[in-house]
Amino acid sequence: MPSEEDLGPTEGETREERGARNERLLGARLASNSSVNLLTPVLLNACRKRSEGGSLSDLESDLVDLVKLAGTSQDEVAGWGRAFAALDAGQSAALFPQDTSELDADSSYSYADAARDLPKYWDVISELPNVITPGVSGGAPKLPSARDVQRFGWSQVLPTGDGEYRAAMPKGGYYHAALVQIETATCHHHTVGEAGTDEVYFVLHSVVDRGVNETTMSETVENFTDGVTQRYDHLHYADGLFDPDKYPPAPKMKSFIAILEGWEEDHGKSKVLEKIKEKANEISEKLIGGIKDPSKKKAQIQAAVGIVLAIVALFVEAWCDDFIAHETIEGDYTNFENKDEKSVTLVRKNDYGYEVLNWGKYEALVWFRYVKGRT
């Protein structure tokens, strides 16, 4: 398994060296996520079947459409299919779970097959190293290490138990919501990869004690160099919906914590990520709709689907982006009138507390505003 140094940027990295590192990073992330890579072989085998003129199942067709949204050429789609077909049994077993590791040109894997298999991955997903662990009694959550995020991909927030309130909230219920705005980011030290400027986007996770955890991604802003400040236009909305019979008379969002992640993008590829996300959400809804087991909590199924599809989205879109750093942010929950502004510095630190600037150092200006009302 490649070391953290092998997966990270180095001073004066050439385009060829970046390409070689991207291959190492892709391999490391596939291997690291092998226990939950349920849909990745379905996608790769669908690419093979499409290039060979074979028929596709409903799920396989949607996954190929997901690949096309990333601007992937027909030759690249065929190449992915050939690469998958060339894996021997041992290689497939090392990269993918047993349910889908042995697919071939004659295999078909549909939404019905996925609905059958997905529920058993909840326990596996919840133990992944890049999962954000909820805090105790509304306290700050435990963040995964920077090493694990770089190796496994975007960190993940699992659902709270109150997720069903969004759909079940009766008229007259109370809600509290938090709006989080990324206003600007300042580059104090660019990443030390290949020559040129940084292209930076942010991922925001919100963790609430009652309500629905959310994850959103900002736009990518280009041309960052040392000392440059640029504006962002990303608004993150996190709501808490509360049943007045359970939390009388006027419940309050006791705990709202945001986790801000910074990422340096590989060559502007995530400009089409919004379309990919929309398609992934469409696939996710179809998968959820096919799960018939009433003993499984819907929130858990949503998390399983979301994380598995996030892995697919990373594979086609952002496998080779570099993780800068992450920080937790807490706001003033009593302030429902004015903006609560925070300056958040994202920089990695070594085991001795010293800054590691190879991965960049960025300062984001973020504000919160809290709203309350009744449904």
CA dist., res. 188 & res. 272, Å (int): 28
Contact between 151 and 7 (Cβ < 8 Å): yes
Could you give the count of Cα atoms lying within 13 Å of 19 in the half-sphere of its Cβ? Answer: 3
Task: Give 31-46 as a DSSP string.
Answer: HHTGGG-SSHHHHHHH
CA dist., res. 183 & res. 206, Å (int): 17
CA dist., res. 183 & res. 323, Å (int): 20
Contact between 199 and 141 (Cβ < 8 Å): no
CA dist., res. 295 & res. 91, Å (int): 35
Residue 7 token pair: 């997966």
pLDDT band at 185 (very low <50, low <70, confident <90, very high): very high
| pLDDT given for residue 258 in this prediction | 80
For the residues 18-27, what does the mean pLDDT come to? 71
Asked whether the predicted pLDDT for residue 232 surpasses 90, the reply is yes
Give the highest mean pLDDT range of 112-126, 207-221, 356-370: 356-370
Asked whether the predicted pLDDT for residue 130 surpasses 50, the reply is yes
Contact between 316 and 276 (Cβ < 8 Å): yes
| pLDDT given for residue 148 in this prediction | 82
pTM of this structure: 0.72
CA distance to 107, 119, 144, 310, 313, per residue, from 39 (Å):
14, 13, 24, 10, 10
Q: How do residues 261-288 score in pLDDT, each as one tens digit?
A: 998 886 545 455 556 667 777 787 788 7
The CATH class of the 140-265+321-375 domain is mainly beta
Question: Which of 128-132, 239-243, 262-266 is predicted least confidently?
Answer: 239-243
CA dist., res. 248 & res. 245, Å (int): 6
Q: Which residues pair with 129 in a beta bridge?
A: none
DSSP assignment letter at 60 = H
Could you give the count of Cα atoms lying within 13 Å of 107 in the half-sphere of its Cβ? Answer: 20
Contact between 257 and 210 (Cβ < 8 Å): no
CA dist., res. 90 & res. 87, Å (int): 8
> In Å, how far from its chain's centre is CA 9?
21
Residue 2 token pair: 């490649």
Laid out side by side, the sheet with 340-349 consists of 229-242, 174-189, 355-374, 340-349
Asked whether the predicted pLDDT for residue 247 surpasses 50, the reply is no
- CA dihedral (115, 116, 119, 125) positive or negative: negative
Residue 5's CB: how many other CB atoms inside 10 A? 9
Could you give the count of Cα atoms lying within 13 Å of 112 in the half-sphere of its Cβ? Answer: 2
Asked whether the predicted pLDDT for residue 251 surpasses 50, the reply is no
For the residues 157-184, what does the mean pLDDT come to? 63
As annotated, the residues of the chain forming the CATH 2.60.40.150 domain(s) are 140-265+321-375
What is the separation, in whole angstroms, between the first and last Cα of the chain? 52
